[in-house]
Amino acid sequence: MSRAATRFRTILPYSGRTALGATIAGGVLSGLASAPERMSRLFRRRFPTVAVTGMTGVGKTRLADRLARRTSGQSGPEVGSAVLERRTRRSPRLQGFRFLVVPGDNAATRLGALDEVFHDEPVDGVIHVVANGHATPRRTAGTTGQATATREEQLAAELEDWAITSHRIASMAVRRDQPVWLVIAVTKADLFADQLDEVVHYYSPGSGSPFGEKLDELRALAGGAKLSVDVLAVTSQGGDRTSAISAKRASAMVEALAVRLDQLSGHI
């Protein structure tokens, strides 16, 4: 809170500063009581909260790290996140985003994290991450050995995972006055760089694909005006010798996603 308070003070115009001073000097208790609330509302507008959802191994942590301009730790590919991860993207003019990454594994922590972002402290927007069936197979917690899964199995798992998350989004949207935005981030684009258009189409509303149909259902449930849907291809990896996408293009894709988040949040 003290951090938000400092920010609030520094960005208040001079007249605002005197007004606040006057309120305090006048001892108007109601003014004092509502000040923290105003500050937190201001902070929230400048740093909207964004839930990052999607099945295990799909690339949520890597993408949130890219968006937050943070280098990912070198955990092995078979290790998934166990708890809700928080990342912050800071942009010029004291704007940015607070990302809440929900662990994809069906651990007990996942249900609590889903409750937290969609019910207890409902987020402003959602990035749902998919990977065209290229989610890295992960072992069930507590077991050893290499996990394997075919692309078809992973595509089916993505769909199942989306059914759960989309219900959570629908119930949040109907309870809410202001609209909620959803971005489907199709990541690992480096693995299917020559099919981006088809893949984006598969994940789009109105496409008639199994995923598109579930999106249409969500929009019908939530009410079209309550929910905006964007579909964007992105990658957290690029530039190494074997990659089909250059480092520059990978960065441009991540930045395009960030620009869209800024537009959806009214930052620009």
Query: Measured between alpha carbons, how far is 238 from 111 in angstroms, rounded to an integer?
Result: 33
Q: Which is nearer to ligand GTP, 43 or 118 (CB)?
A: 118
Query: Measured between alpha carbons, how far is 140 from 78 in angstroms, rounded to an integer?
Result: 10
Q: Which is nearer to ligand GTP, 219 or 238 (CB)?
A: 238
Q: Please report how close the Cβ of residue 229 comes to ligand GTP at its closest, in angstroms.
A: 20
Q: Which is nearer to ligand GTP, 218 or 250 (CB)?
A: 250
Neighbour tally for 145: CB within 10 Å: 7
How far from the centroid of its chain's Cα atoms is residue 112's Cα? 17
At 62, list the tokens: 């890597």
Partner interacting with residue 188 (select from Mg ion, ligand GTP, none; CB below 5-8 Å by kind): ligand GTP
Beta bridge partners of 101: 52, 85
Q: Please report how close the Cβ of residue 112 comes to ligand GTP at its closest, in angstroms.
A: 14
Q: Please report how close the Cβ of residue 52 comes to ligand GTP at its closest, in angstroms.
A: 8
Q: Please report how close the Cβ of residue 40 comes to ligand GTP at its closest, in angstroms.
A: 29
Partner interacting with residue 191 (select from Mg ion, ligand GTP, none; CB below 5-8 Å by kind): ligand GTP
Partner interacting with residue 166 (select from ligand GTP, Mg ion, none; CB below 5-8 Å by kind): none
Based on the number of CB atoms within 10 Å of its own CB, is 47 exposed (0-12), middle (13-18) or buried (19 or more)? buried
Only one residue has tokens 């987020």, namely 123
Q: Please report how close the Cβ of residue 153 comes to ligand GTP at its closest, in angstroms.
A: 16
Partner interacting with residue 265 (select from Mg ion, ligand GTP, none; CB below 5-8 Å by kind): none
The three-state secondary structure class of 34 is helix
Q: Which is nearer to ligand GTP, 77 or 208 (CB)?
A: 77
Query: Measured between alpha carbons, how far is 32 from 186 in angstroms, rounded to an integer?
Result: 46
> What are the residues binding ligand GTP (CB under 6 A)?
54, 56-62, 77, 80-81, 103-105, 136, 138, 187-188, 190-191, 235-237
> What are the residues binding Mg ion (CB under 5 A)?
61, 81
For 227: left if phi > 0, alpha if psi spans -120 to 50, otherwise beta; the answer is beta
Name the residue type at position 82. A
Residues 6+ apart with CB under 8 A from 157: 55, 135, 149
Q: Which is nearer to Mg ion, 110 or 219 (CB)?
A: 110
At 220, list the tokens: 């019908």
Partner interacting with residue 62 (select from ligand GTP, Mg ion, none; CB below 5-8 Å by kind): ligand GTP
Q: Please report how close the Cβ of residue 186 comes to Mg ion at its closest, in angstroms.
A: 17
Partner interacting with residue 165 (select from ligand GTP, Mg ion, none; CB below 5-8 Å by kind): none
